[in-house]
Chain A
Amino acid sequence: MGQTITEKILAAHSAQAEVHPGQFVMARLDLMLGNDVTAPLAIEEFRRITGNGKLPDQAKVVLVADHATPNKDIKAAEQCRVMRDFSREQGMEHFFDVGRGGIEHALLPEEGLVAPGECVIGADSHTCTYGALGAFATGVGSTDLAAAMATGECWLRVPESIRVMYRGKLRRWVGGKDLILYTIGLIGVSGARYQALEFCGETIEALSMSGRLTMCNMAIEAGAKNGIINPDGVTHAFMKSVTKRSYTAVLSDTDAHYARTVEIDCSKIELQVALPHLPENAKPASQVTNVAIDQSVIGSCTNGRIEDLREAAAILKGRQVHPNVRLIVVPATPRVHLQAIKEGLAEVFIEAGGALSTPTCGPCLGMHMGVLAKGERAVATTNRNFVGRMGHPGSEVYLAGPAVAAASAVLGRIGSPEELP
């Protein structure tokens, strides 16, 4: 019987001809990642494991200061210093500090650090983003990262795969975020628990890399171990634009076994909004038009790429943010930030009355740069709308794509671009 792309990558990284769902493997890793929340703990554990030893392969370790940066307070500054000191002590080439990094899951693809067929872990749940490149990538905790830094390996249980087939042409403004919110709404926040979500079909083939990264980014919100898309022309063109290095792409066999197949007709999908307090509470934006908002956040590892900012700017150009709304736009990386300035998008956001921030994860997890007060409501292009996610436990987050977030900022309530005068 054939193998899925996930099974093939895990087999290739554990020196086996084939692996099967449920099997435990010790996978050799191509890359491992930590950030200023998870890495300090991992560094402490790495020192315990190795007795203050050296990284066996420093080039495979990536540390990014992105969550509470630029340092929000003294404690955050000290967490970042732990990473900075460690990277210097280890002679690491992939430590990304403020101004040279940005949000990890937008940064790593931009830097060409992940390629098709590779096996990646990260001490951040949204590490699954890189499945868009045809890699196996999954989130772990700090101790798993520490063990991987010491050994170059990580134990993994081979997941069953769910195939999600998307057919049909997308409506105007509908993108990767709407597809993934719709999908999570369909299968639920634990609908793919411990499983691989393999996205395929003609709609995915026609989707940009940016949209694919958004979809795989939120695979974890359905409980999935990884999200993954078989590499194709879009993937190879993207890789060519970011790196010269070679890689070995693998594809699912046509007779691979799937735990189930979900078929989705995309021509019927409207712009989506996920209501508090779970990403599975997805509804068409047209049914959520009486929700006044205090803040709109456009950014994050989910939707902070240049394509997302272009979409938001197209809607905000020549318009003003509603007087009751704070609009915060967060380019995901310095490269995206600079591009937004060059293309005149920065001007559009600022002239509309929005605040253009330096790259940071800050507002998405209520850490800083846009924390919500009790009773406040935000629409955000981020990935989680849990209780207290963006601030006070009595605040609310509505998840959406850039089009809805931008239109809502102008309307002062949740709405879509079609409703704008």
Chain B
Amino acid sequence: MSELRGRAHVYGDNVDTDVIIPARYLTSSDAAELAAHCMEDIDPEFLRTMQPGDIIVAGENFGCGSSREHAPIAIKASGVSCVIAKSFARIFFRNAINVGLPALVCPEAAAQSSTGDELLVDLTAGRIENVTQGRSYQAEPFPDFLQQIIAAGGLVAHTRRRLAGN
């Protein structure tokens, strides 16, 4: 897997999926359409200030609330390369893996990063480097079971492979 580089956009605890993508846009499953409203209700400036590759950094329980997969789809399609949080809500975490949005658990990096910091992420090794602050961190490794899904390229490909094996 590649190395990701982008600037941090830092948020607090309990960022819910309603503010990531409000329900008023859920009559579409189109990634580009959803991306056009990503983070609208928590940070109206997000889309204007973000550059492709940028990284969302958040506190505890990121993605809590609704099971809408539209949330990680919107984040990914907006150009965000990965999300780093102190912790993730479980349905969001599943959805992120399933749609191929890297979601890294790293409380220290999440606590110490500031908006605008340049971050470098090595997904294979789980290394996070805050270039601006000169600090580096180790994210929690994915359990083996999830690594298989990630290695297959998401749950759709993983399931196709399982069915073919049967």
- Given the known inter-chain contacts A24-B145, A189-B61, please indicate yes or no for A151 contacting B24, CB distance below 8 A: no
Q: How far is the CB of A357 from chain B (nearest CB, A)?
A: 17
**Among residues 51 to 101 in chain B, which have CB atoms less than 8 Å away from a CB atom of chain A?**
60-61, 64-70, 87, 89-91, 94-95, 98-99
| Given known A367-B26, A384-B65, contact A189–B159 (CB-CB < 8 A) | no
Q: Is the Cβ of B67 less than 8 Å from the Cβ of A143?
A: no
Query: Are B163 and A150 interface neighbours, CB within 8 A?
Result: yes
For residue A190, CB closer than 8 A to chain B, the reply is yes
A284 at the interface (CB under 8 A from B): no
With A37-B68, A144-B98, A388-B22 known as contacts, the answer to whether A75 contacts B27 (CB < 8 A) is: yes
Query: What's the least CB distance linking A250 to chain B, in Å?
Result: 23
B143 within 8 A of A: yes
Number of interface residues of B (CB under 8 A): 42
> Do A393 and B67 touch across chains, with their CB atoms under 8 A apart?
no
Nearest CB on B from A311, distance (A): 26
B90 and A38 contacting across the interface, CB-CB below 8 Å? no
A38, B64: Cβ atoms closer than 8 Å: no
The stretch of A40-48, A169-177, A341-349, A407-415 in contact with B is A40-48
Which of B19, B24, B64, B95 touches A143 (beta carbons < 8 Å)? B95
Q: Of all chain A residues, which has the CB nearest B144?
A: A24
Q: Compute how far the CA of A44 lies from the CA of B30 in the bound complex, rounded to whole angstroms.
A: 11
Given contacts A190-B60, A367-B26, contact A387 B19 (CB under 8 A): yes
Contact of B14 among A76, A189, A393 (CB under 8 A): A189
B22, B69, B156: the one contacting A49 at CB < 8 Å is B156
Find out whether the CB atom of B67 lies under 8 angstroms from the CB atom of A141: yes
| B145 contacts across to A, CB distance below 8 A | 24, 155
A393 to B25, CA, bound (A): 14
Whether B156 pairs with A143 at a CB distance below 8 angstroms is yes
Name the distance in Å between A260's Cβ and chain B's nearest Cβ.
18
Is A147 interfacial (CB-CB < 8 Å)? Answer: yes
A194:B90 contact, CB within 8 angstroms? yes
Residue-wise interface mask of B (13-26) relative to A, using a CB-CB cutoff of 8 A (1 in contact, 0 not): 11010110011101
Given A44-B29, A193-B61, does the pair A141, B95 have CB atoms closer than 8 Å?
yes
A73 contacts partner chain B, Cβ-Cβ < 8 Å:
yes
The verdict on B150 contacting chain A, using a C-beta distance below 8 Å, is no
Closest Cβ of chain B to A419, distance in Å, is 31
Contacts of B91 in A (CB 8 A): 125, 139-141
Q: When A141-B95, A143-B155, A190-B14 are in contact, do A223 and B26 touch as well, CB less than 8 Å?
A: no
Cβ–Cβ contact B69 & A190, under 8 A:
no
Whether A366 and B69, one on each chain, are in contact in the complex, defined by CB atoms closer than 8 angstroms, is no
How far apart sit A371 and B22, CA to CA, in the bound complex (Å)?
12
Q: Which of A72, A73, A147, A155 contacts B156 (CB 8 A)?
A: A147
For A139, list chain B residues within 8 Å (CB). Answer: 67, 91
Find B66's partner among A76, A125, A387 (CB 8 Å cutoff): A125
Asked if B24 and A366 sit within 8 Å, CB to CB, the answer is: yes
Q: Does B2 contact A (CB under 8 A)?
A: no
Q: Which chain A residue shows the least CB distance to B143?
A: A24
**A9 interfacial by beta-carbon distance below 8 Å:** no
Contact partner, B90, options A24, A150, A225, A387, Cβ 8 Å? A225
Report the minimum CB–CB distance from B109 to chain A (whole Å): 19
CA distance A153 to B162 in the complex (A): 11
In the complex, A365 has a CB within 8 A of chain B: yes
Q: Does A67 contact B (CB under 8 A)?
A: yes
A-B contact pairs, 30 of them (CB 8 A): A38-B67, A40-B29, A41-B70, A44-B29, A45-B156, A68-B26, A73-B27, A79-B27, A123-B67, A125-B65, A125-B91, A140-B91, A141-B68, A143-B154, A144-B95, A147-B158, A150-B159, A151-B162, A151-B163, A189-B14, A190-B87, A193-B89, A223-B64, A366-B18, A366-B22, A384-B66, A386-B18, A386-B19, A388-B22, A393-B41
- 6 additional contacts (CB under 8 A) given A189-B61, A223-B90, A389-B18: A24-B143, A49-B159, A79-B29, A141-B68, A157-B143, A225-B90
